[in-house]
A and B are shown apart, each in its own frame.
Chain A
Amino acid sequence: MSTTTLLSRNLSRSRRFKNRVATAGVWLSVVVAAVPLLFVIAYLVQKGAEVVDWDFLTQDIPIISRLPGPGMGPAVLGTLLITGAATAMAVPLGVLAAVYLNEYGKKRRLANFVRFLSDVMAGVPSIVMGLFIYTVWVLNFGQSGFAGALALGCLMLPIVIRSAETALQLVPNELREASAALGARTSRTTLTVVIPAALSGLVSGALLAVARAAGETAPLLFTIGTVTAANPDLFDGANTALSTQIFKNATQPFEAPIQRAWGAALTLILLVFILTAVARLAARRFTLRS
């Protein structure tokens, strides 16, 4: 701001000094946040690129983990399947809940209560979600990819609700009124007017929730078990995921599993970044139109 530079000649030395220090502090804090992020990403790309290739993404995991060699295929498949199933459960339910909040409940007491609860649920630690699904599902039906999907779904639900409600709020009220004037009920207005208008906002919010869920480890630790060969059946038998493989391999004392952990981490982060980037693009289209 040029006002400050104009006046700075007449400032006392201590005031000028304090201002300089504060400005430097603000710049410094940006740098302090950027440096570890760059370190993490640089390390990840460097270590991960050594092992990630087509074989790494498709081959089975070595049964004797200290032996070198490729293989995270089952984990890649597991992550995609489990996250996909979680999305298929959480996104429709979350969007419907948001429709209730924004189109029906509005400022009613019940709606505010649900908003409050979904904020509370968003703060539940992911490990607690894992334990919860373990006690209600795994103890009765055993470990499976589906159990993991349930845990991830619980984690995604409040995020989807919140982002979907924001997307619906951005739809101009005139559209709803025009539809109502043509004689449509709220349900029809919502289906044919509001949701299409909010679509890219809904998609971007959902994708951000998916990206968050794909990287989660704690809810999967006790719910999906572990396997070394691909298991395409979500409902039957243990499964595995990139995140749990990273966790397992990170503490091994041998070189080979740690390398596989870096490879899995690079794969996982690429997956998450692609999802985030797509979400960005969807959101940008949305803001341009409205």
Chain B
Amino acid sequence: MCIGCGLLVLVILALIAVTMTRKAWPALSHDGLRFFTSQRWAPNVEAFGSLAFVYGTLVTAVIALALAVPVSVGIALYLSDLAPRRLRGPVGSLVDLLAAVPSVVYGLWGVIVLAPWLSGVYDRISDVTSPIPILSTLFAGPSKGRGLFTAGIILALMITPIVTSITKEVFDTVPRAQKEAAYALGATRWEMIRAAIFPHSRAGMVGAVMLGLGRAMGETIAAALVIGSSPQITANLFRSGDSMAAVIANQFGEAGGLHASALIALGVELFALTIIVNVIARAIVGRRLRRA
């Protein structure tokens, strides 16, 4: 009986892959390879290209990582080596609290409070960066506040807890003797971190980042609310875009026929992408933690 429950996981995963691919088939056979290579998404003329959504998903996830990873590594270092004993508990709970806030609540706050405020901030940033060549295309105004970068910020908040907790787990496996050896050689704390903690934890940190990437790619509701919902590929990060999960959430409710099938196909694509990312991440983290 217990084996049956264990295998249930396998059954569900297989069912997801099979039934969703079957429902997605009409759209996939209608558009063929264009589904993956075209960026034109026009349900009214039955043109379904998913490239713009893949772009939006990856760009927001990368922004989220760029913001969240340094902060997470910082908090993990704080918890593992820096924090005075009586602050360790509260800071740990802070990370847990960040994880406990539901995604839709971040989305609500993002769309009503953060986006209008950021719109002004973005305008000021684009004023500053407009004479600089590359930055002027990345951060061009005017912005409505909802867009790729805003989605990235909200996603960063949501993946910080998982990246932090895994990074901390990896840092905790660094042998005490190595840290003390670094101190004994006269290293400052920062030199100890660079000489003892980082080299030992590199693979584990890569794994944690990949897990964060998987989370950020699949995150739906918060992104759906703040990303701005326009299927376009733009280098301007302050512009609105759309991600795979967000477009499913926003359009599936009123979709029928081929449109619904295309959205399910998008779901299959997202499923496949996140599984690849997660499998790689688990392989790296697992190997690291086992060896320690």
Contacts and interface: CB of A to CB of B under 8 A. Distances in A.
Interface of A: 1, 3-4, 7-8, 11, 15-16, 18-19, 21-23, 25-30, 32-34, 36-37, 39-41, 43-44, 93-94, 96-97, 99-101, 103-105, 110-111, 113-114, 116-121, 123-129, 131-132, 134-136, 154, 157-158, 161, 211, 214-218, 221-222, 243, 246-247, 250-251, 258, 261-262, 265, 268-269, 272-273, 276
A221 B252 contact: yes
A124 B274 contact: yes
A131 to B, nearest CB: 4
A16 B188 contact: yes
Given A4-B183, A136-B19, 20 more contacts: A7-B186, A26-B74, A27-B82, A39-B113, A44-B105, A93-B8, A96-B5, A113-B10, A120-B279, A121-B13, A124-B13, A124-B271, A125-B217, A126-B220, A128-B271, A132-B267, A216-B103, A217-B104, A250-B111, A265-B108
Interface stretch (B32-40, B41-49, B93-101, B121-129): B93-101
A127 B248 CA distance: 8
Interface of B: prevailing SS: helix
Nearest to A92: B5
A11 B245 CA distance: 52
Contacts of B5: 93-94, 96-97, 100
A30 B84 CA distance: 13
Contacts of A37: 94, 97-98, 101, 157
Interface of A: prevailing SS: helix
B169 to A, nearest CB: 12
Contacts, number: 248
A269 B105 contact: yes
B225 interface: yes
A33 B274 contact: no
A258 B112 contact: yes
Nearest to A246: B104
Contact of A123 (B22, B113, B193, B218): B218
Nearest to A139: B23
Given A26-B77, A30-B75, A268 B270 contact: no
Contacts of A216: 102-103
Contacts of B107: 246-247, 250
Nearest to B71: A29
A247 B221 contact: yes
Contacts of A22: 189-190, 193
Contacts of B1: 96
Nearest to B2: A100
B15 interface: yes
B71 to A, nearest CB: 4
B252 A222 contact: yes
A171 B18 CA distance: 39
B104 A243 contact: yes
A218 B160 contact: no
B91 interface: yes
B55 interface: no
